[in-house]
Amino acid sequence: MPRSRSCRALSLTALLLTSLAFSHPAAAQAFPTKKPIRLIVPFAAGGGTDVISRVLGAGIGAELHQTVIVENKPGAGTLIGSDYVAKSAPDGYTLLMATFAHAVNPSLLTKLPYNQATAFAPLSLVGESPNVLVVRPEHAVKSVADLVAYAKANPGKLSYGSFGNGTSAHLAGELFKSLAKVDLTHVPYRGSAPALTDLLGGQIDMMFTTTASVAPYIASGKLRALAVTSPQRSSALPNVPTVAESGVPGYVAQSWYGLYAPAGTPRDVVMQLNAAIRKAASSETFRKRIEDEGLVVRASPPEELARYVAAEEARWGKVVRDAHITID
């Protein structure tokens, strides 16, 4: 072959290889690049989930040497934020902070904008936190045993507030009714703040609510903590018994947090994110910042989050069906 034709062939080969490399940048670039990671929180800013996400996001960013931006996309019982992540590119740069609502929405809603079983790739469970059952200190009910006895003698007279139909506070009350075999009146509110205002004002009798939201009122004596809803006592309220040990065996109703990516995210990216999440959640910085939430860290392999949420879906689905709860 003449030298000129040989050189031309080599040049064309080099050009072809270069064009192929640039036509598949995702394959050529290792995760993560300088592109920021977006952590989607399906709640408004300022709440417990938002606080936990921001502290954890900073830790993940430090582990990956990457910027993590927390974006709040509230609305529709977390569906707006969840759907946004479900429809995002599966490249590891858009994550979802999922909570209790993620496991109960399939039972509460006849139609979701995504297929829960196939839309997400689990990354890691982050942790669990109890709710706490509270009443006003002057209320006649001073313990869970008192509550059960009073409710059985006065069916429907005691009322409990929640953050709305289908929320963790609502379902915690329905589970209590089922296991204790009592009749309580549910009063839904548009969020925790108005429900707490009415509890303090005496318009409702009790609430199952987050530890962080009522800790100052418990400390000041404006509310009495009857029990926590976790299987063991909470480090945030060590002197408060659990509902189960107070006479309602088998009762557990916890909030939880877990991170997901869109389905189809490459396995190596999932495992890189998992390692960063577990290190960030296990750090002393994270533990100190979230101790007021009563959060018990349970950073896990991706498969454990999948198993955990499947069990939560089944358990709360039964509560929803038995209580005939709908929010459509």
- How do residues 94-111 score in pLDDT, each as one tens digit? 999 999 999 999 999 989
Class of domain 130-246: alpha beta
pTM of the model: 0.85
pLDDT at 293 over 80: no
Q: For residue range 297-306, list pLDDT tens digits in order.
A: 999 999 999 9
The listed CATH number (3.40.50.300, 3.40.50.720, 2.40.50.140, 3.40.190.150) that belongs to domain 34-129+255-323: 3.40.190.150
Please give the Cα distance from 128 to 174 (Å, whole number): 20
| Closest alpha carbon to 160 in 239, 253, 35, 268 | 253
Q: How many residues does the chain have?
A: 328
In single-letter form, the type of residue at position 319 comes to: V
| Peptide bond before residue 32 is cis, with ω within 30 degrees of 0 | yes
For residue 201, what pLDDT is reported?
A: 96
- Which residues does residue 128 pair with via DSSP β-bridges, in sequence order? 256, 296
pLDDT band at 278 (very low <50, low <70, confident <90, very high): very high
Please give the Cα distance from 131 to 208 (Å, whole number): 6
Please give the Cα distance from 257 to 35 (Å, whole number): 25
24 versus 37: the higher-pLDDT residue is 37
For residue 145, what pLDDT is reported?
A: 97
CA 307 and chain centroid, separation: 15
Largest CA distance in the chain: 104
The token pair at 111 is 């139609």
DSSP annotation of 36: P
Domains 34-129+255-323 and 130-246 share a fold: yes
| Closest alpha carbon to 176 in 222, 201, 141, 200 | 141
Domain ranges of the chain: 34-129+255-323, 130-246
For the segment 45-59, the average pLDDT, to the nearest whole number, is: 91
Start-to-end CA span in the chain (Å):
75
Burial level of 294, CB count in 10 A (0-12/13-18/19+)? buried
Whole-angstrom Cα Rg for the chain: 24
Burial level of 161, CB count in 10 A (0-12/13-18/19+)? buried
For the segment 62-85, the average pLDDT, to the nearest whole number, is: 95
| H/E element, 218 | helix 211-220
